[in-house]
Chain A
Amino acid sequence: MQQNEKLQRIFRDVFDDPTIELEPTMTADDIAEWDSLSHVRLMLEVSKAFGVRFSASEVSSLNNVGDLQALISSKGGA
């Protein structure tokens, strides 16, 4: 499965919304349930799914989905 599809499936699971379509510019403002709690849960799920580890700094400093995709790639996530 492509990284983007995998990530999209995680987003749809975490936010319980099957209509989510990821764009690199998407931010927390675009998804109503995306708050600080669900953000941490999202990062844990991404971490498990892609076999990568995120530091607290990385978890807190992401600005949009594009940043997340780039971070996963930089850590060799598959």
Chain B
Amino acid sequence: MNFVSLHFIAFTLVTVLAYQATRSVTARQWVLLIASAYFISTYMLDIKSALPLVAFLGLGYVLIVGMSATPSRVYVAAAVCLMIGSFLYLKQFFFLTAVGLPFIYATVGLSYVLFRIISLIVDLSNQDIDGKPSPAAYLAYTCGFTTFLSGPVQTWTSFKSEYEKPPAPITEGEVLRALSRIATGYFKLAIVAAAFDYLFQNFSVQFGGSAHGLPWFKTVSLYTVSAAAYTGYLYYNFSGYMDIVIGIGGLLQFKLPENFNRPFSAKSFLEFWQRWHMTMSQWFKTYLFTPIMLTTMQRLPDPKHSAAIGLFAFFITFLVMGIWHGSTAVFVVYGVLMAFGACANKLWQIAMPRALGKPGYKSLQKRPVYIQLCKGLTFAFFTLALTCLWTPEIGQLFGLAGRLGLSGLLVSLGALTLCFAAVDTVLAPVAAMEFNALSGLETRYRDAWTVSRCAGVILAVVFVSAILNKAPEFVYKAF
């Protein structure tokens, strides 16, 4: 179901009205379940194509229900490995393409279902959760339509409190805030991201394919601009989608966690991942990074090993996080780049205080030029690494890298760093001023402004979609 379609608008409207029409918690839970089942069914070709998802969910529930009150580590490890193995099989990772199921099936949303099932298994085993979920609650948690496609990855505790809370009458303020958030989401998704995609398509076609006779400098320039355009497209597409689902959650009075917090204001690669796709980062931090750290530090308790352990944990976590994005070899490269970025960042954070002394490093970190260059380099590295997401074949990726050469990649990195730093220096204060001006508006003007903004966005989305002659797709549902 395309988010920029009358079908989705009608579906959301019917669901919200049905949900708000009842004051019964059980009735509201049923509305969510039925709506989610319908939403997911629109991604399925037929009943057969839904069977793998049903089996995956069933396996997860059996493993959860089968867990004793104090399960052994072997059981927990086996359960997690079984779920991951099933996931790798269904997503046809690498060599598993040779032994796939003999029919077409949908894997949309499977990654996020896996996250939720693993978190349930681990948290239950650690007694971080009281009581096992009922089948209905389990399905609503793993397959809720607002978070099914690409998150946010909500913890069971947070979900349960929203799922079971007694209904309260929705206020006009809540509706306006939710609509405002949805309008922001559609503006980002259908206009800003679509504009970046337009730029990306038109720039990237000029150096791809048969355009191999281009001069080196032109190839590097076109590549740099294309890569930057793709980053803009990805960010506004994904964060726009998040705004829409969080806004819909608002209309359902169902609070969802944020997934983005101004990621391009990050002053380091590690900070970037605390601001970009936050719920996924948090999940990997909780269920991979921290267990690796805890286990290894317990075995090697001497503090002088901390740095090495940290680098090891970062490397594994980011490598897995990168590979998670896709089932082909190019995503291994992406994972390696992510891991390299995290480790390089950590090494810098360890080395600089030693080189400059703690006060010297603290002083350097406060200098505006240093801050802007760090932001620029973070953006530049992430942008170049994202090349893996738009060159799906590894041969193409290496071919492109060969044409650019190391010098081309460095020129690209440098240009992106400096341009971003310069643009951010100008735009960041402007954005802050705008935000302050808006939050100063009186409530009645703010409400009128919200209604006007929503109306304006509806028209703008309709016009831009017609101009570009396509409704924008949500890119992250492919991961």
Question: Which residues of A does B touch, CB under 8 Å?
Answer: 32, 35-38, 40-41, 43-44, 55-61
Bound-state CA distance A57–B306 (Å) is: 20
B290 close to A (CB within 8 Å): yes
Bound-state CA distance A56–B362 (Å) is: 30
Q: Choose from B128, B289, B309 the contact partner of A57 (Cβ within 8 Å).
A: B128
21 contacts between A and B (CB under 8 A): A36-B289, A36-B293, A37-B306, A37-B307, A37-B309, A37-B346, A40-B293, A41-B297, A43-B294, A44-B294, A44-B297, A44-B301, A55-B122, A55-B126, A56-B286, A56-B294, A57-B119, A57-B286, A58-B126, A60-B282, A61-B155
Q: Choose from A32, A35, A38, A59 the contact partner of B294 (Cβ within 8 Å).
A: A59
Bound-state CA distance A78–B283 (Å) is: 30
Q: Which residues from A are CB-within-8-Å of B358?
A: 32
B310 close to A (CB within 8 Å): yes
Q: Which residues from B are CB-within-8-Å of A32?
A: 358, 362
Contacts A44-B297, A56-B294; A35 near B123 (Cβ below 8 A):
no
Closest Cβ of chain A to B113, distance in Å, is 19
Bound-state CA distance A60–B126 (Å) is: 14
Closest Cβ of chain B to A69, distance in Å, is 18
User: B303: nearest residue on chain A (CB-CB)?
Assistant: A41
Bound-state CA distance A36–B317 (Å) is: 13
Q: Which of B122, B287, B310 has the most CB of A within 10 A?
A: B310
Closest Cβ of chain B to A68, distance in Å, is 15
Q: Choose from A36, A38, A43, A56 the contact partner of B287 (Cβ within 8 Å).
A: A56
Q: Which residues from B are CB-within-8-Å of A57?
A: 119, 122-123, 126, 128, 286
Q: Which residues from B are CB-within-8-Å of A38?
A: 306
Q: Which residues from A are CB-within-8-Å of B122?
A: 55-57
**What mask results when residues 38 to 72 of chain B are scored 1 for a CB within 8 Å of chain A, else 0?**
00000000000000000000000000000000000
Bound-state CA distance A33–B294 (Å) is: 18
Bound-state CA distance A38–B98 (Å) is: 44
Q: Which of B119, B291, B294, B358 has the most CB of A within 10 A?
A: B294
A37 touches B293 (CB 8 A): yes
A40 touches B286 (CB 8 A): no
Q: Which residues from B are CB-within-8-Å of A55?
A: 122-123, 126-128
Q: Which residues from B are CB-within-8-Å of A40?
A: 290, 293-294, 297
Interface residues of B in 265-317 (CB under 8 A from A): 270, 282, 285-287, 289-291, 293-294, 297-298, 301, 303, 306-307, 309-310
B22 close to A (CB within 8 Å): no
Q: Which of B123, B291, B293, B349 has the most CB of A within 10 A?
A: B293
Contacts A32-B362, A55-B126; A60 near B349 (Cβ below 8 A):
no
A60 touches B290 (CB 8 A): yes
Bound-state CA distance A74–B127 (Å) is: 13
Bound-state CA distance A76–B257 (Å) is: 31
Q: Which residues from A are CB-within-8-Å of B282?
A: 60
B291 touches A56 (CB 8 A): yes
Bound-state CA distance A43–B298 (Å) is: 11
A56 touches B310 (CB 8 A): no
Q: Which residues from A are CB-within-8-Å of B127?
A: 55
A35 touches B349 (CB 8 A): yes
A56 touches B306 (CB 8 A): no
Q: Which residues from B are CB-within-8-Å of A60?
A: 282, 285-286, 290
User: B317: nearest residue on chain A (CB-CB)?
Assistant: A36
Bound-state CA distance A54–B289 (Å) is: 15
User: A58: nearest residue on chain B (CB-CB)?
Assistant: B128
Closest Cβ of chain A to B370, distance in Å, is 15
Q: Which residues from A are CB-within-8-Å of B306?
A: 37-38, 41
**What mask results when residues 148 to 171 of chain B are scored 1 for a CB within 8 Å of chain A, else 0?**
000000010000000000000000
Interface residues of B in 295-354 (CB under 8 A from A): 297-298, 301, 303, 306-307, 309-310, 346, 349
Bound-state CA distance A59–B126 (Å) is: 12
Bound-state CA distance A61–B285 (Å) is: 10
User: B119: nearest residue on chain A (CB-CB)?
Assistant: A57
User: B274: nearest residue on chain A (CB-CB)?
Assistant: A36
Bound-state CA distance A57–B119 (Å) is: 9
Q: Which residues from A are CB-within-8-Å of B290?
A: 40, 56, 59-60
Closest Cβ of chain A to B73, distance in Å, is 13
Q: A41-B303, A56-B294 are in contact. List 15 more A-B contacts (CB 8 A).
A: A32-B358, A32-B362, A36-B270, A37-B309, A37-B346, A38-B306, A40-B297, A41-B306, A43-B294, A44-B298, A55-B128, A56-B122, A58-B126, A59-B294, A60-B286
Closest Cβ of chain A to B245, distance in Å, is 22
Q: Which residues from A are CB-within-8-Å of B310?
A: 36-37
Bound-state CA distance A63–B293 (Å) is: 19
